[in-house]
Amino acid sequence: MKAVRVIPGPEGGQVAIEDIAPPVAGPNQVLVRVRAAGLNRGEINQAKELRTGNTITTGVEFAGEVAAVGEGVAGWRKGDRVMGHGRGCQAEFVVADPMALIPVPDGMSWTDAAAFPNVFITAHDALVVNGRLKAGESVLVNGASGGVAMAAIQIASLMGAKPVFASSRSAAKLDKISQCGVDVAIDSSRQDQVEVIMQATENRGVDIIIDTVGGPVFEANMKSLAVQGRLVNIARLGSATAQIDLSTLWLKRLHLIGVTFRTRTEQERLDCIQACARDMLPLLRAGRVRLPIDRTFAMTDIHAAHAYMKQDQHVGKIVLLVD
């Protein structure tokens, strides 16, 4: 089968399409014929960092049809349309844990299905599980044009957050995401985040911040939070370092939370998938959730897809079409 592979090298991994043996479903595994796979910035970073070790197949989210089920698998059968979260899925076939799969609603395209798992599972875990969102609380999502950020905006709006703030340095990107459930858009290239939030919340501050930027907005985020506010960091696209005013942390009794899949056990990962499916699948089936697709590429055009993502001009998801 064809697969996107990263070959280790002293200057960083090299991405290539290779023919490799297809996987086989073992006990308690499901074999999926992949039709589309989401592209995430993590794949580019992973390739850059792979200097030693074995060649790997990339990808963390996919959609396709069940091709075979291993011994002991219940609930799935050949031909089922599924989407899932799991490594090595930018390929024609992938094996997955049955609990890592979510049924694809009727009428949903492979492209849309492949864009759902990683960003919505990550955003749901950040906002609902770790952020402990309650209806009526206010939420700020910064770096709001990224896939996880846009998923977080939709989840916040659908679960009753009010108001939902979104910030970006690009007015054009803010305009494109305005239909995702944003109540107050903040153009951080010309507006002061703290001033906008305090004015909109009568100087109370925001309850939860979903942060993808990191260092450059850390101080403003601290000032923007309400008493007992929660700052949940999922990425550090601006910088991984920041100075902290402990007096602000102390006086506001703030909660600083980091989330990642890298240090989770396999069972914790599966729990995140199932929690997201529990809350979001009914909304997905009702047509109330949809992440915009910016562009699709054939999987064999992986170099062009990576180059496009590196330009950082996209709004929404980039998806690889496998067949």
Q: Could you report the per-residue pLDDT of 228-250, keeping only the tens digit for each?
A: 999 999 988 778 898 989 999 99
- Paired residues of 321 in beta bridges: 36, 298
Handedness of CA 66, 56, 274, 144 (dihedral sign): negative
Measured between alpha carbons, how far is 178 from 129 in angstroms, rounded to an integer? 25
**What value does the CA radius of gyration of the chain take, rounded to a whole number of Å?**
20
Question: Please, what is the Cα angle at 91 between 114 and 36, to 5 degrees?
Answer: 20
Handedness of CA 77, 81, 87, 91 (dihedral sign): positive
In a shared domain, residues 128 and 250? yes
- 88 three-class SS: coil
Contact 233, 260 (CB under 8 A): no
Measured between alpha carbons, how far is 208 from 261 in angstroms, rounded to an integer? 20
Measured between alpha carbons, how far is 140 from 204 in angstroms, rounded to an integer? 13
In a shared domain, residues 49 and 127? no
> Of 258, 279, 304, which residue constitutes the final position of a domain?
258
Q: Could you tell me if residue 13 is inside a domain?
A: yes
Q: Could you tell me if residue 47 is inside a domain?
A: yes
> Of 236, 258, 280, which residue constitutes the final position of a domain?
258
- Give me the mean pLDDT over the 291-300 stretch: 92
Res. 179: pLDDT tops 80: no
In a shared domain, residues 70 and 124? no
Tens of pLDDT, residues 150-174: 999 999 999 999 999 999 888 888 8
Q: Give, to the nearest 10 degrees, the angle between helix 147-158 and helix 117-124.
A: 60
Per the structure, the count of domains in the chain is: 2
Tens of pLDDT, residues 75-125: 999 999 999 999 999 999 999 999 999 999 999 999 999 999 999 999 999
Q: Could you tell me if residue 272 is inside a domain?
A: no
In a shared domain, residues 147 and 238? yes
> In the prediction, which pLDDT does 27 show?
97
> Of 258, 276, 299, which residue constitutes the final position of a domain?
258
Cβ atoms < 10 Å from Cβ of 44: 17
Q: Note down the domain range covering 68.
A: 2-116+291-321
Q: Could you tell me if residue 282 is inside a domain?
A: no
Q: Could you tell me if residue 267 is inside a domain?
A: no
In a shared domain, residues 243 and 155? yes
In a shared domain, residues 23 and 54? yes
Lookup: tokens for 294:
């910016």
Q: Could you tell me if residue 300 is inside a domain?
A: yes
The per-residue DSSP string of 200-246 comes to: HTTT--EEEEEESSBHHHHHHHHHHEEEEEEEEE---SSBS-----H
Average pLDDT along the chain: 93
Residue 175's pLDDT band, with cuts at 50, 70 and 90, is confident
Cβ atoms < 10 Å from Cβ of 228: 11
Domain harbouring 58, CATH code: 3.90.180.10
Residue 127's pLDDT band, with cuts at 50, 70 and 90, is very high
Contact 201, 209 (CB under 8 A): no
In a shared domain, residues 70 and 41? yes
In a shared domain, residues 139 and 235? yes
Q: Could you tell me if residue 284 is inside a domain?
A: no
